[in-house]
Structure 1
């Protein structure tokens, strides 16, 4: 039996997590060498996927990117507009929705008992971040900041330690959410086994 989701609830959750990504982007950033600051965006991006699943997580982060590109000052440092998507950080922004989608896809396929184990969700977040955020982020630096891949790696590697910590925090929060709301992902639930009281008279119990 499948758990049906309310479309209105889905829209509200997508909007709420898009707002969460925006808030984390606008919190004071840590400036490091290079054009990319350290923010809490990746925490919110991966949390969106881990909590909402592939489709809604992707839509939440895509909504954030589209709203920023449309002119809302919600990118890091209050930046906004299409110019940000042509700048050196464009690869990271492009990678955000894809990373949320992959993290959500992995989490959706985890056994139910793993949803209350932060280790599995941490792994989903780290893999998603590595494949999309870091890889596309470095590609953006190569294309838009005129760096070599080696130079782009020198910029990007600074973020890895922080990303590990943010993924730990993300996994702990996502685990708490799934414990409190076990049907958040809307996954199919197994039908209850009939009891002996439910069986017709004369039918042997299993």
Structure 2
């Protein structure tokens, strides 16, 4: 489920049963971290500023793409089932709101970043940072496409300038912050790898 190029793979136990148990616990703990990161937010409308992009990037880089995607998927299932794991609650109705594109966009983001570390980016800060920026850009595209799809029903969208209004309200304010968060996530993971390397 992961490779020796990731932090999780490097720390994983040898036995298959132990690995399976470790992966299950890792996914559950990962969803808890995603929940906590969602609660660290600035409640701006329509999309709150949270630490979730940092958490998704760091977890995917530490776990690899399979466990990273599984963690995000489990988190989304928890939210859809009604658990209050999102920034403002949970439940199926939450997926009719303006943040749905971003929530679903965490899946390809986790895949891109996790794939990079599976291929050996754990000890290459600039490579990992580039992968995180790419994953984050895909996330923004998913979020923006969703916002455009629901633009006709959104009071905060200027119907005379739908594209510009959606971009200005729900994408542009987050770009600088996400670049900083991706840099922090890349340094966190590559720093942890550097500390772990002498023990491997």
Where on the TM-score scale, by shorter chain, does this alignment land: which range? 0.7 to 0.9
- Distance in structure 2 (CA, Å) of the matches to 1:80 and 1:57: 21
Alignment of 1:73-88 (within 5 A): 73-77=84-88, 79-88=89-98
Deviation at 1:11, TM superposition (A): 1.1
1:118 aligned residue (111, 125, 150):
125
- Where structure 2 has 5 or more consecutive residues not aligned to the other structure, the ranges are 5-13
**Structure 2 Cα separation of the partners of residues 162 and 71 of structure 1:** 29
Aligned residue pairs: how many?
175
* Structure of larger gyration radius: 1
SS across alignment from 1:76: coil
Q: TM-score, normalised by structure 2?
A: 0.80
Greater share of residues in helix: 2
1:69 match: 80
RMSD: 2.0
Q: 1:181: how far off?
A: 4.3
Normalised to the residue count of structure 1, the TM-score between the two structures is 0.78
Q: Is residue 2:12 matched to residue 1:11? A: no
Q: Partners in 2 of 1:128 and 1:149 — Cα distance?
A: 22
Structure 1 gap segments, 5+ residues each: 183-206
Partner of 1:36: 47
Q: Which runs of 4+ in 1 moved over 3 A?
A: 2-5
What is the aligned partner in structure 2 of residue 129 from structure 1? 136
